[in-house]
């Protein structure tokens, strides 16, 4: 309940100031407390919860990124004519074969897995994803994705930042900037990955946005967040933190609230809160055997995509705004130049956990407020320099992605590629359109979500992007 600004209210604000004055939580938490007293969000607090541009369908996002380039024609985009015409020579000016020795002649290569219809929707999915196939009635599948670059670095950068050549803030940072967070003890944006992917830390960087919005990396294992346990405890740590807070306060005042310095101070605040919140959030010991089995995670396991997915659900329950899971485990990535059979091992690693995540979220009522995104950076070629070549090359002209959960029209397929899966034939969806749609589901207008930097207004979608309304409920 808000207290009116009377003498008593002013006195209470004074108490708040004196109560927090010696704490590490100054200035960020104090600013929020004082803003709450006044009945508004603090303009100086970058992580304060913010109202969306319009009523949001989703409160948070789980972004599943299959790094390396998943073959659309072997997973979610059936091409029976490609099976019939295997070995046929085609003439294409494709970026991956242009002026490439040994690729003067290219031939159609058939999909290596069979497709079947699933669910009431009848959506066709290959045998690579039997568990996800069982969830197709929850999914809006987009078969007409396309991107601007066939190089891993550039395409990965583009999928995460909307920029294919220059460092820009990531999607998760933009969502954090636009909406803030509802849990002050955990970062608003968390990235869980065993190793860095292409484009490195830029996939979760905040770039010119306030540093508080950058992603916090978590590495699966016995210590997912390094140094989370305080090296000292009790009253001694409290005294040290109070001393540091006083020095930070004076330094920040002399620097006229410099945003870089403020972000650095806030990182200490977040670390302090994480010491309390992280151990509990990552403690899976109380999860039931049924839940662990749903994800395919053995009791006591701390690695693998199953662990990443279950932890993501726990973080969603605790109010984390944006969580990205990157599949960079011991199985390698999806860049199957040498042998497409690598896809079988890779799919087996993620298929059951992803389906388990969707089912778990739904059973807990969380899928109604959580947007689940599955994507990769590009597809793979329906051809190679031999019809019996074991692998496939990069393919930016067409690939598949899907959405599920809050605000998504379930059981639909949007767009299509041509008879061989070479190019988009209907309802193209560019990466900018994909981003605009994700932001829309979060209640954010991609044209209005801007940040002034270097004399101009920037946005995630640059000057492009249209919301794909056909996949919206």
Q: pLDDT tens across 173-187, in order?
A: 999 999 999 888 899
Q: pLDDT tens across 96-111, in order?
A: 999 999 999 999 999 9
pLDDT for the residue 167 = 93
Looking at 12-16, 220-224, 284-288, which range is the least confident one? 12-16
The residue assigned the tokens 């039997």 is: 130
Strand partners, 124: 117
- Mean pLDDT for the chain overall: 88
Q: pLDDT tens across 325-365, in order?
A: 999 866 679 999 999 999 999 999 999 999 999 999 999 99
Specify whether the CB–CB gap between 349 and 327 falls below 8 A: yes
Which is higher by pLDDT, 235 or 2?
235
The set of residues, in sequence order, having a beta carbon less than 8 Å from that of 234 and lying 6+ positions away, is: none
Q: Quick check: 260 pLDDT over 70?
A: no
Specify whether the CB–CB gap between 25 and 185 falls below 8 A: no
Using pLDDT thresholds of 50, 70 and 90, give the confidence band for residue 247.
confident
Any idea what DSSP says for residue 215? Answer: P
**Domains defined along the chain, listed by start:** 1-40+232-273 (no CATH), 48-225+282-471 (3.40.720)
Strand partners, 106: 90
Looking at 12-21, 55-64, 163-172, which range is the least confident one? 12-21
pTM: 0.87
Measure Cα distances from 62 to 111, 325, 405 in Å.
29, 7, 10
Specify whether the CB–CB gap between 371 and 60 falls below 8 A: yes
Separate counts of helices (H) and strands (E) for the chain: 12, 20
pLDDT for the residue 257 = 62
pLDDT for the residue 256 = 66
Which is higher by pLDDT, 36 or 260?
260
Mean pLDDT of 285-307: 96
- Phi, psi of 470, deg, nearest 5: -65, -15
The DSSP line for 275-333 is HHHHHHHT--TTS-HHHHHHHT--TT---HHHHHHHHHHHHHHTT-SEEEEE--STT--
Using pLDDT thresholds of 50, 70 and 90, give the confidence band for residue 442.
very high
190 vs 316: CA distance, rounded Å: 11
Burial annotation 225-240 (CB, 10 A radius, 16+ → b, else e): beeeeeeeeeeeeeee
């Amino acid at each position: 309940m808000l207290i009116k600004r009377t003498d008593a209210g002013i006195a209470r604000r004074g108490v708040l100031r004196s109560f927090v004055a010696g704490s590490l939580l100054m200035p960020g938490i104090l600013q929020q407390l004082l803003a709450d007293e006044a009945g508004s969000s603090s303009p100086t607090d970058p992580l304060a919860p913010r109202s969306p541009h319009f009523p949001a369908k989703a409160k948070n996002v789980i972004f599943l990124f299959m790094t390396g380039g998943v073959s659309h024609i072997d997973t979610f985009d059936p091409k029976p004519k490609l099976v019939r015409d295997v070995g046929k020579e085609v003439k294409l000016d494709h970026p991956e074969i242009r002026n490439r020795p040994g690729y003067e002649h290219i031939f159609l290569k058939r999909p290596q897995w069979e497709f079947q219809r699933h669910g009431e929707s009848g959506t066709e999915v290959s045998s690579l994803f039997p568990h996800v196939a069982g969830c197709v009635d929850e999914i809006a599948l987009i078969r007409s994705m396309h991107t601007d670059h066939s190089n891993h670095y550039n395409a990965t950068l583009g999928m995460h930042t909307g920029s294919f050549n220059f460092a820009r803030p990531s999607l998760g940072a933009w969502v954090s900037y636009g909406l803030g967070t509802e849990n002050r003890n955990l970062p608003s944006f968390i990235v869980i990955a065993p190793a860095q992917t292409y484009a490195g830390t830029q996939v979760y960087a905040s770039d010119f946005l306030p540093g508080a919005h950058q992603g916090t990396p978590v590495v699966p294992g016995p210590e997912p967040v390094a140094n989370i346990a305080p090296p000292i405890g009790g009253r001694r740590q409290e005294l040290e933190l109070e001393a540091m807070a006083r020095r930070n306060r004076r330094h920040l005042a002399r620097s006229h609230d410099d945003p870089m310095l403020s972000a650095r101070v806030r990182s200490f605040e977040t670390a302090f809160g994480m010491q309390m919140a992280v151990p509990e959030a990552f403690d899976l010991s109380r999860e039931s055997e049924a839940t662990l089995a749903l994800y395919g995670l053995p009791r006591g396991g701390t690695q693998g995509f199953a662990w990443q997915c279950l932890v993501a659900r726990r973080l969603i329950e605790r109010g984390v705004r944006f969580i990205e899971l990157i599949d960079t485990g011991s199985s390698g990535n999806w860049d199957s130049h040498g042998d497409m059979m690598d896809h079988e091992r890779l799919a087996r690693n993620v298929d059951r956990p992803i389906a388990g995540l969707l089912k778990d979220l739904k059973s807990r009522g969380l899928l109604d407020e959580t947007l689940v995104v599955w994507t990769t950076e590009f597809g793979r070629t329906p051809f190679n320099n031999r019809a019996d070549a074991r692998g496939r090359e990069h393919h930016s002209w067409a690939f598949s992605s899907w959405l599920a959960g809050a605000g998504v029209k379930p059981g639909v397929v949007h767009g299509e590629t041509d008879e061989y899966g070479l190019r988009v034939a209907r309802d193209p969806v560019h990466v900018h359109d994909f981003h605009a749609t994700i932001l829309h589901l979060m209640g954010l207008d991609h044209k209005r979500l801007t940040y002034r930097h270097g004399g101009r207004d920037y946005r995630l979608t640059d000057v492009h992007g249209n919301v794909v309304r056909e996949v919206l409920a």
